Amino acid sequence: YELSLGLVGSEMCIRDREISSAAAANAVMLAAGYFNPLTGYMNKDDALRVSREMLTMDNLFWPVPIVNLTTDANALDYTHGEEIALKDPNIEGNPVIAIQRVDNVEKLSDEDINIIVTNVFGTNDDNHPGVKTFKEQGRYIISGSIEVLNYSYFPSDFPDTFATAPQIREMLTKAGWSKTVAFQTRNPMHRAHEELCKMALDRLEADGVLIHMTLGKLKEGDIPGDVRDSAIRKMVEIYFPENTAIISGFGFDMMYAGPREALLHAVFRQNAGCTHLIVGRDHALSLIHISEPTRPRLISYAVFCLK
């Protein structure tokens, strides 16, 4: 009774590829609903138009390219519609994190890369941490939709903090909040941050603040995730009135793209059900200066309404 089932056989395989940490972080954000309505990685035209005009070719507002780049020219060999297995660079053994249906593979020229980085990061200087990370990923851009298997190391490393966008919307519903201010942080919060959140709550007559931490890769010198987490939880415990702060986090590497990243932060907080976002005086290194020490040009925070 051992009939053949057709296309079986261990001699077949699908091609795989270890992707960059940035591409893996994009996959996690896509899977966690933060990057709705995107369904995968952008192609060259999308990446260029997003960089220049903050619009995809379908006229969707999007502030930064969401891409899968590689240094490997062999990627040009993929065929349209082929499924490839994307392997997670951040977990030992590099398990598959997603399956990508390849739409196209294109090569970015020096000019393309210049357009992207100068628009997104405000500079083409390789000393800028965002520019450096972007360029190191390579110039072959593999576009196409992805289906994601897991949230990488985030749920195991941050079991009490990592949450998807729908999970956060559920927390907000359970808390009974209809007006929520998101506060972005990659570091412990100091006294001024605490006051900033409370002022936003007060002036907007908001129900609460979502303290929403970057759980992904940080730059050298940033405070480790577990220290930041404990510090923030202690601050909320001692200094915030009951049911006015929810602490959570998302799995994404910092891009250090300044104002563009602030807009991305706004987009994905909107996907998580927040109504407002506090944008810092130097949000995601808006004020980075390459040739001189980083210093603020303007000391101010703004709260933007996500409508």
Q: Using CB under 8 A as the criterion, which residues of the chain lie in contact with its own copies when the complex forms? A: 1-18, 20, 70-72, 74-75, 77-78, 81, 83, 85, 87, 89, 93-96, 99, 101, 126, 135-139, 147-150
Smallest distance from the beta carbon of 78 to its own copies, in angstroms?
7
* Nearest CB to its own copies, comparing residues 138 and 208: 138
CA distance 104 to 34: 24
Smallest distance from the beta carbon of 150 to its own copies, in angstroms?
6
Q: Which of 225, 222, 198, 223 is nearest to 213 (CA)?
A: 225
Kindly list the catalytic residues.
186-187
CA distance 59 to 214: 28
Smallest distance from the beta carbon of 10 to its own copies, in angstroms?
4
Within 13 Å, how many C-alpha atoms sit on residue 115's CB side?
A: 18
Please state, as a whole number, how many other Cβ atoms lie within 10 Å of the Cβ of residue 46. 22
Smallest distance from the beta carbon of 13 to its own copies, in angstroms?
4
Smallest distance from the beta carbon of 279 to its own copies, in angstroms?
31
Answer for the pair 162, 152: CB distance below 8 angstroms, yes or no: no
CA distance 300 to 125: 26
* Nearest CB to its own copies, comparing residues 136 and 237: 136
Smallest distance from the beta carbon of 223 to its own copies, in angstroms?
27
* Nearest CB to its own copies, comparing residues 18 and 207: 18
Pairing of strands 40-41, 140-148: antiparallel
* Nearest CB to its own copies, comparing residues 83 and 207: 83
3-class secondary structure, 44: helix
Phi-psi region of 263 (alpha: psi -120 to 50; beta: other; left: phi over 0): alpha
Q: Residue 96 phi/psi, 5° resolution?
A: -65, 130
CA distance 287 to 295: 7
* Nearest CB to its own copies, comparing residues 45 and 126: 126
Pairing of strands 180-185, 276-279: parallel
Answer for the pair 49, 120: CB distance below 8 angstroms, yes or no: no
* Nearest CB to its own copies, comparing residues 78 and 162: 78
Please state, as a whole number, how many other Cβ atoms lie within 10 Å of the Cβ of residue 153. 18
